[in-house]
Structure 1
Amino acid sequence: MTGEIDPIKVMKQEVGKAAAALVKSGTIVGLGTGSTTAYAIEYLGNRLKSGELTDIQGIPTSFQAEVLAKKYGIPLTTLDAVDHIDIAIDGADEVDPQKNLIKGGGAAHTREKVVDALADQFIVVVDGNKLVDRLGSTFLLPVEVIPMAITPVMRAIEKLGGKPELRMGVKKAGPVITDQGNMVIDVKFDSIDNPAELEKTLNNIPGVLENGLFVGVADKVLIGEVKDGQPVVREM
Structure 2
Amino acid sequence: MFVTVNLTRPANEASTMEAMAGASMSSSARLRPYPRLRRIGNVTVAAVRRRCRRHAITCAAAADADVVALFDAAKLTVDRFVESGMVVGLGSGPASGLAIQYLGTRLRRGYLTGILGIPSSTISASEAEKAGIQVGSYEESTQIDFAFTDADIIEEDTLAAVIGRRKTESGEPSFMEEKGIVKSAGKLAFIIGHDKYVKGVEGSIPVLVKSANWIDTAEEIDDLFLGDAEVWRRPSFGTAGPLGGDFPLVTKEGHHVLDVVFTTPIPDLAKVAESLEKIAGVVDHGIVSSIPSYVVVALNGEVQVLDEKSSVIP
Instruction: State if a TM-score over 0.5 links the two structures.
Output: yes
Change (3 A) 1:42 1:179: farther
SS at match of 1:210: strand
Q: Secondary structure at the match of 1:140?
A: strand
Q: Distance in 1 between matches of 2:234 and 2:139?
A: 31
CA distance in structure 2 between the aligned counterparts of 1:129 and 1:179, rounded to whole angstroms:
33
On the 8 A contact 1:33/1:64 being kept in 2, the answer is yes
The alpha-carbon deviation at position 167 of structure 1 amounts to: 2.1
Number of residue equivalences: 230
Corresponding residue for 1:166? 233
User: Following the alignment from structure 1 to structure 2, what is the Cα–Cα distance between the partners of residues 179 and 72?
Assistant: 28
Q: Distance in 2 between matches of 1:210 and 1:35?
A: 24
Which residue of the partner structure matches residue 203 of structure 1? 277
Q: Hey, what does 1:11 align to over in structure 2?
A: 69
Normalising by structure 1, report the TM-score: 0.87
CA distance in 2, matches of 1:109, 1:167: 14
Inter-partner Cα distance in structure 2 for 1:58 and 1:164: 35
Deviation at 1:195, TM superposition (A): 2.4
Q: Can you give the 5+ residue segments of structure 2 that lack an aligned partner in the other structure? A: 1-21, 26-60, 167-172, 240-245, 307-314
CA contact (8 A) 2:160 2:270 kept: no
Q: For residues 182 and 142 of structure 2, what CA distance do their matches in structure 1 show?
A: 14
- The worse-fitting range, judged by mean Cα deviation, of 119-128 and 17-26 is 17-26
Q: Secondary structure at the match of 1:217?
A: coil
Q: Does residue 101 in structure 1 map to residue 171 in structure 2?
A: no
Whole-Å Cα distance in 1 between the matches of residues 97 and 251 of structure 2?
A: 19
Once residues 220 and 175 of structure 1 are traced to their aligned partners in structure 2, the CA distance between those partners, rounded to angstroms, is: 35
Larger mean Cα displacement after TM superposition, 194-203 or 106-115: 194-203
CA displacement 1:170-199 (0-9 Å, x = unmatched): 459833445655332111233433322321
User: How many angstroms does 1:121 deviate by?
Assistant: 0.7
Instruction: Summarize deviations over 1:190-225 as a string: whole Å, max 9, x none.
Output: 343332232132133333221111112252100012
Two-structure CA RMSD over aligned residues (Å): 2.3
SS of corresponding position for 2:280:
coil
CA distance in 1, matches of 2:77, 2:68: 14
- What does 1:136-155 align with in structure 2 at a 5 Å threshold? 137=202, 139-155=203-219
Q: Please tell me whether Structure 1 or Structure 2 has the larger radius of gyration of its CA atoms.
A: 2
State how 1:13-162 maps to structure 2 within 5 Å: 13-21=71-79, 22-80=81-139, 83-97=142-156, 98-106=158-166, 107-135=173-201, 137=202, 139-161=203-225, 162=229
Q: Which amino acid aligns with 1:123?
A: A
Q: Secondary structure at the match of 2:164?
A: coil
Show the counterpart of 2:5: none
Any conservation in 2 of the 1:110–1:209 contact (CA below 8 Å)? no
- The alpha-carbon distance between structure 1 residues 170 and 18, as it changes in their structure 2 partners (threshold 3 A), is farther
- Partners of 1:124 and 1:218 within 8 A in 2: no
Kindly tell me: are residues 14 and 179 of structure 1, through their superposed partners in 2, closer, same or farther at Cα, counting changes over 3 Å? farther
Find the aligned partners of 1:10 and 1:48 in 2 and give their Cα distance: 21
User: What corresponds to 2:267 in structure 1?
Assistant: 193
Aligned partner of 2:47 in structure 1 is: none
Q: Tell me which residue corresponds to 2:309.
A: none
TM value normalised by structure 2: 0.67
Give the counterpart letter for 1:119 in structure 2: A
Which has more helix, going by share of residues? Answer: 2
Letter in 2 for 1:84: Q
Q: Indicate which of 289, 294, 299 corresponds to 1:220.
A: 294
Contact conserved, 1:157 with 1:163, CA < 8 A, in 2?
no
